[in-house]
Amino acid sequence: MTRQPPTPRLQIALDTLDLPTALGPLQQAAPYVDVIECGTILVLAEGCHAVRAIRALFPDTPILADVRIAEAGSKIARMAFEAGASLVSCVAGASMATIAQVCAVAAELDGEVQVELADEWYDADRARAWREAGVQHVIVKRSRDREASGDLSWKPEDLGRIDELAAMGFTVTITGGVTPADLPAFAGHPVGIVIAGRSIVDAADPAAAAAELKRAIAGVWP
C-alpha cells in the first residue's frame, strides 16, 4: 500500500513594494496561513525592518526571509535571523562555502536554510551536498519570467525533481503562481509547502483566497 504524503503547509509570499501593502492582506489571510514569507521585493524595499515588524505581529508563525543569499552568507543570514526570521533562502548558484556559512549561522541561532532552485538548473550531486551541509528546504519553482512568457505548465521533470529531493531528506516547496487548479498535478508527490503570493495578496478577499487554497491542499493531500 502506497503511503499518502502528509498535507503540505500553506505559505503566503509578500512581494509588495512597501510594508503597509503587505500587512493588509496578511492580517486577513493569517488564520489560514502556516508560514509567512517576507519576499525578496519586500525585503529590498523595506530591509530587515519588514521581518521585525511581521515578527512583532506574529510571534509564533514561521517567517522566511527570502533574501536569496549568493555570498556574504554569514553576515546576511545573521541579519535576517536576528531580525526574527525562522528561515533564510540562498540561490542555487551560491558556492558551497557560502552555503556552509549560512548553515553554521542557522545552527547557532536555531534557524533553517532553504535553497531556491533555478528554473533551468538542477544537479542531484550538488543537492546532496547541500543536504549534508545542513540545508533543510528546497524550492521547485515556476518562475515569474516563465509565467510571463506564457508557460503555465508543471512538467514531468518538475514532479520527478520533487520526488528525488524529498527522498534526499529535504522539505520541498513549490512556487510560481500556484492556484487551486494547479494542485491536482502534484497529487501523490511529497510537497511540504505550497507558496501562494499574488493569488492571495491581490485577491479582493485575501482571507477567502487563502481558505480556498487550504481546502484545495487538503483535497489533494487528504
Q: What is the pLDDT of residues 124-167, one digit of tens each?
A: 999 999 999 999 999 998 755 555 656 667 888 889 999 999 99
Q: Residue 201 belongs to what domain range?
A: 9-220
Task: Please say whether the beta carbons of 203 and 170 come within 8 A.
Answer: no
DSSP code string of 22-37:
HHHHHHHHGGG-SEEE
Please report whether residue 146 resides in a domain: yes
Instruction: Identify the bridge partners of residue 63 per DSSP, sorted by sequence position.
Output: 36
Structural domain tally of the chain?
1
Please report whether residue 74 resides in a domain: yes
Please report whether residue 1 resides in a domain: no
| Mean pLDDT computed over every residue of the chain | 93
Task: Check whether 211 has a pLDDT greater than 60.
Answer: yes
Sorted by sequence, the CB contacts under 8 Å of residue 111 that are 6+ apart come out as: 77, 81, 85, 86, 87, 88, 105
Please report whether residue 140 resides in a domain: yes
Q: Is 120 exposed, middle or buried (0-12, 13-18, 19+ CB in 10 A)?
A: exposed
CATH number of the domain bearing residue 65 = 3.20.20.70
Confidence label for 1 from pLDDT (cuts 50, 70 and 90): very low
pLDDT digits (tens, 9 = 90+) for 28-63: 999 999 999 999 999 999 999 999 999 999 999 999
Please report whether residue 2 resides in a domain: no
Please report whether residue 105 resides in a domain: yes
The three grid cell numbers given for residue 97, joined into one nine-digit string: 562555502
Please report whether residue 3 resides in a domain: no
